[in-house]
Every structure is written in C-alpha cells, then in structure tokens.
Amino acid sequence: MQEQELVLQLASLLYEKKATDITVLRVSHLTVLCDYLVIASGRTAVQVSSLTDYTEEYMSGRGQLLRRSEGAREGRWAVLDYGNIMVHLFHREERAYYGLDRLWNDGTNVLDLPFDQTVPE
C-alpha cells in the first residue's frame, strides 16, 4: 500500500471515530523528518486517548511499526511516529496552541480527503 493511500485511509478511520478538523499534509519537500503529517482533534481527553488507540491498532494491522509515541497517557495531545508518517492527535485547545496546521501548510500540500467534514453531525 502506498503511503498516501495509507494516510488517507487513516484519516477516514479517524473521521468514522468522530475525530474533527482532520488534516493530512504532504511535507516531504519541507522536512526530512517525515513525508506526511496527519493532524486531528478530539473533543475530550478520553476521545483523544481512544483515537490514539484506534490509530495504533490500525497502523499495526498494516505493518507500520510505531517508532515512538509521546503524550498519549494524558489525553490532551499525542504524537505517533511511524517513520515517514507522523500522527498528531490533539484536544482542541492544544491544537490551537501548537498551530501545526499553520506551521506545516505551505498552501500547496494539503491532501484532499475522501469525505466531507463540512456535513454537520
């Protein structure tokens, strides 16, 4: 499975699990740290923790080795490092504070998602 297809499928999983403000950025031309960033928000600390668990299970099932993770226990922010793919799961306040979307978005690297987040729940 190609990385771009994998990150878009992960974004779809997060959407199904009620994550909000999902963004996938291709950053390979901006950094050597990774090729893709997946950024999503949860409404509560419990939801952020659950999204982290879903992500780990999903990626493991696709043969992706979790190299490192931080912040998952607190449920406010978690980063999951899969080498070429980094997943950031935030509580809304932390996401606004860190502003990764603005930091890594160069205006050309946001991937179109296979679902419509503008549809109200």
Instruction: State whether residue 9 is helix, strand or coil.
Output: helix
Query: What tokens does 17 get?
Result: 């699990």
Give per-residue pLDDT as tens, 33-42.
999 999 999 9
The arithmetic mean of pLDDT across residues 78-96, rounded, is 95
Q: Can you give the pLDDT at residue 30?
A: 95
pLDDT at 95: 92
- Name beta bridge partners: 25: 37, 110
CB atoms within 10 A of CB 105: 17
The model's pTM is 0.93
pLDDT beyond 80 at 67: yes
Q: Which pLDDT value is given to residue 11?
A: 98
Q: Is the pLDDT of residue 77 over 60?
A: yes
Span 14-22, mean pLDDT? 96
Statement: residue 121 has pLDDT above 60: no
Per the CB < 8 A criterion, the answer to whether 120 and 103 are in contact is no
Give the chain's count of helices (H) and strands (E).
4, 5
